[in-house]
Structure 1
Amino acid sequence: MLDDKEIATSRKIGSTTVFRPVVNDQLLKFKKTQKGFKDDQTGSVWSITGKCVAGKLEGEELRPFIHGNHFAFAWFAFHPETEIYEE
């Protein structure tokens, strides 16, 4: 995702993807590693695209959730009741 119409004058601002963390009816929990993401349940390694690239679940893919990437100011304009939580 970029912050301007023109690529030459833009900066990368990042974006997100959201996946359903379930494979074969098993709920998975993930941790970030140097190689990608590792699930706690099987130790399998996952790419940022939701594909398992190593381990017991190699070749499996997480199903994406439909979601939107929004700038905060635009979201808050239409959803002023939104609450922000911090750690």
Structure 2
Amino acid sequence: MAKAYPFSAIAERSVIHDHFAGSEVVVTFEPLSESGAAFQRRLEDRTLTFEPSAPRDGVALMRDVETGSLWQVLTGQAVEGPLFGERLERLPSHYSFWFAWSDFHPRSELYTSAAG
């Protein structure tokens, strides 16, 4: 099972909440390097909700609404706040052109902004 996120969607939103394969996930984007990552939103006994935060020292950040902790968008590690040092579980992800992706993953779901 696979899911594709158009570059335009992740570049526009930078933090996307979604459901995939029965899990709550967050897909993140760091505009300076044009890099992204995907993580489980569940940490121990809670599901976190993230929102973009202002970068610090050139590092893209997001904040969880539940505790106010700051997280690096590419590592999934909390760098400030009550959850300092915690790390989200990273999910496999990579960039690909759609024509190549669809050849190898013909049954992929395609993210649309209306979905999350």
> What TM-score does the superposition give when structure 2 sets the normalisation length?
0.54
- Structure 2 counterpart of 1:62: 88
Counterpart of 1:34 (choices 29, 54, 57) is: 54
- Report the secondary structure of 1:18's partner residue: strand
Aligned length: 76
> What TM-score does the superposition give when structure 1 sets the normalisation length?
0.70
Give the whole-Å Cα distance in 2 for the aligned partners of 1:37 and 1:72. 27
Task: Sort the Cα spacing of 1:82 and 1:18 in 2 relative to 1 into closer, same or farther, 3 A.
Answer: closer
Higher fraction of strand: 2
Is residue 23 from structure 1 mapped to residue 38 from structure 2 by the alignment?
no
Higher relative CO (Cα under 8 Å, sequence separation at least 6) belongs to 2
Instruction: Quote the offset at 1:82 in angstroms.
Output: 5.6
Amino acid at match of 2:70: V
RMSD: 2.5
- Report the secondary structure of 2:37's partner residue: coil
- Structure 2 counterpart of 1:85: 112
Deviations 1:31-55 (A, max 9, x none): 0010310001111000121000000
Give the whole-Å Cα distance in 2 for the aligned partners of 1:84 and 1:54. 31
Larger Rg: 1
Runs of 4 or more consecutive aligned structure 1 residues displaced over 6 Å after TM superposition: none
Task: Sort the Cα spacing of 1:43 and 1:70 in 2 relative to 1 into closer, same or farther, 3 A.
Answer: same
Residue pair 1:76, 1:82 contacting (<8 A) in 2 also: no
Task: Sort the Cα spacing of 1:74 and 1:22 in 2 relative to 1 into closer, same or farther, 3 A.
Answer: same
